[in-house]
Amino acid sequence: MSPANNPGATTDANGVPLAAAAPRYFTQAHDGPISADRYGFGTLAIHAGAAPDPATGAVIPPLSLSTTFKQRAVGDFVYEYSRSDNPNRSNLEAAIAALEHAKHGFAFSSGSATTATILNTLQPGSHVISVNDVYGGTHRYLNKVAGSLGIETSFVDLANVENLRDVVRENTRLVWIETPTNPTLRLVDIASVSSIAHEAGLFVAVDNTFLSPYFQTPLDLGADIVVHSATKYLNGHSDVVMGVAATNNDALASKIRFLQNAIGAVPSPFDCYQAQRGIKTLHLRMRQHAANAQRVAEYLEASDLVDSVIYPGLKSHPQHELAKRQMRGFGGMVSFRIKGDTHTADRFLQRTHLFTLAESLGGVESLAELPARMTHAGLAPEERNELGITENLIRLSVGVEDADDLITDIAQALQSAVSEN
Ligand SMILES: *Cc1c(COP(=O)(O)O)cnc(C)c1O
């Protein structure tokens, strides 16, 4: 536990006394602390955790690769050992906290490591409720790994939040949700889930990967923890694997901080440096992702080569009203069912010139994939059917290229793929 993350602490997570507060300048603007009350999103994205280096004046805080740090006297240090904390990671964590309107931010070596570390805060014998179409890796961890920690999970459809009341048990501790979900972009009402969960004394964790804090801040809606695969929009350039979490709950934060060090699934300083650079343009990228995705979704919806389109920004989305209430924008992910079968979909995916056939999402470049045979191939066919992941469902991660070019590309690939049906 570092003073910046827990200003009241006198010892670290291992019980070691903290140094008498060496100043941590990282969360300071030129004239004082960076505060989410005082600055807009773009200002925070650029300045939180990014004050010039006082030692050299470097406008961009340098990459600090050292694994260990000189102590002035035994136990008198700003940083001790790089797994526990290091300058690039604490800068990034300050930025994450500011953007998610949280007191505490944390970075991990992947989104999956973030999930695992948070589930490790629970005692053996705990019960977790997860939304049913949660990210595949989260489902796998809850289903195949968490059992050995003594944690049992119920997967529940939370389109109707009242379903939550029926599955709460004596030992339920946590509700895990994701909104919008992947790849069918279903929404969960964060405020309603949080109020029902809090009545029952449960924590709520929200995977906010698909929207980023630019479009949705779950802590403001009542959630207790927000998590991301920073591999996606936060880093935004498809060149870092990383996860982050944020919370306003001090007790939870100290457990997470302890486990971050004890489990040690931490990102490298270089990855933190890269991710922070990515975050500085998050607001610009998200605006363009959403504008392009809206154009693409409207084009697809008007096309007679397409069966159906799923995008929260379309009036045809069954939860469009909730989307408008809960989100500040509709994001960059669009899913659609091409007219035809899996072969039609495969032809489309081979014939786009700008959309690259690949897994993952959230980078500046447009990607496309076939969930039934790629990201969601691990689900049983009945599960895929139940979720609407049909063999002709294509998922697009709409990038920030010129929208006209993306639409021209989609038009030619649709024409070519469907004409061979
Ligand atoms: C990719 C992803 C994850 C997992 O993150 P990694 O960084 O790949 O470990 C978790 N949740 C969502 C919604 C994702 O898209």
Q: Which of 110, 119, 133, 209 to mutate to test the pocket of ligand 1 (most atoms within 8 A of CB)?
A: 209
Residue type, 281: T
Nearest CA to ligand 1 atom 8: 111
Residue 80 makes CB contacts below 8 A (sequence gap 6+) with 68, 69, 71
Tokens of 355: 């959309």
Tell me, in angstroms, the distance from the centre of ligand 1 to residue 54's CA. Answer: 36
Task: Let me know if 355 is exposed, middle or buried by CB neighbors in 10 A (0-12, 13-18, 19+).
Answer: buried
| 151: phi then psi, degrees, rounded to nearest 5 | -110, 130
| 107: phi then psi, degrees, rounded to nearest 5 | -120, 145
Quick check: CB of 182 below 6 Å from ligand 1? yes
Third-level CATH fold of 3-279:
Aspartate Aminotransferase; domain 2 (3.40.640)
The distance between the two most distant Cα atoms of the chain, rounded to a whole number of Å, is 75
Tell me, in angstroms, the distance from the centre of ligand 1 to residue 133's CA. Answer: 13
Nearest atom within ligand 1 for CA of residue 138: 10
Give the dihedral of Cα atoms 375, 377, 379, 380; nearest 10 deg. Answer: 160
Identify the pLDDT of residue 304.
98
The helices-and-strands tally (H runs, E runs) of the chain is: 14, 14
Quick check: CB of 86 below 6 Å from ligand 1? no
Which residues does residue 129 pair with via DSSP β-bridges, in sequence order? 154, 175
Helix (H, G, I), strand (E, B) or coil at 206: strand
Radius of gyration from C-alpha coordinates of the chain: 22
Whole-Å CA distances, 325 to 157, 219, 313, 379, 390? 20, 15, 12, 32, 29
Whole-Å CA distances, 381 to 59, 65, 316, 373, 389? 53, 47, 26, 11, 9
Domain(s) labelled CATH 3.40.640.10 in the chain stretch across 3-279
Tell me, in angstroms, the distance from the centre of ligand 1 to residue 361's CA. Answer: 9
280 alpha-carbon distance from chain centroid: 16
Nearest CA to ligand 1 atom 4: 111
Tell me, in angstroms, the distance from the centre of ligand 1 to residue 227's CA. Answer: 10
Tokens of 249: 């709950």
Tell me, in angstroms, the distance from the centre of ligand 1 to residue 71's CA. Answer: 37
Tokens of 250: 């001090």
Domain(s) labelled CATH 3.90.1150.10 in the chain stretch across 282-418
Return the ∠ at Cα 232 (arms to 231 and 234), rounded to 5°: 90
Model-level pTM? 0.92
Nearest atom within ligand 1 for CA of residue 243: 7
Nearest atom within ligand 1 for CA of residue 362: 15
Q: Please state, rounded to an integer, the average pLDDT across all residues of the chain.
A: 92
Residue 182 has pLDDT above 90, yes or no: yes
Nearest atom within ligand 1 for CA of residue 242: 7
Beta strand extents in 132-194 (DSSP E only):
152-156, 172-178
Identify the pLDDT of residue 381.
94
Identify the pLDDT of residue 379.
87
Nearest CA to ligand 1 atom 14: 229
d(CA 318, CA 329) in angstroms, rounded, equals 16
Give the helix/strand (H/E) hosting 333.
strand 333-338
Task: List, for residues 90-140, the tens digit of each pLDDT value.
Answer: 999 999 999 999 999 999 999 999 999 999 999 999 999 999 989 999 999
Residue count of the chain: 421
Query: 282-418, superfamily in CATH?
Result: Aspartate Aminotransferase, domain 1 (3.90.1150.10)
Nearest CA to ligand 1 atom 6: 111
Q: Residue with structure tokens 């040690």? A: 264
Catalytic residues, by residue number, are: 83, 135, 207, 232
- Kindly state the average pLDDT of the residues 242-248: 97
Task: List, for residues 353-365, the tens digit of each pLDDT value.
Answer: 999 999 999 999 9
Quick check: CB of 226 below 6 Å from ligand 1? no
Quick check: CB of 362 below 6 Å from ligand 1? no
Task: List, for residues 158-174, the tens digit of each pLDDT value.
Answer: 989 999 999 999 999 99
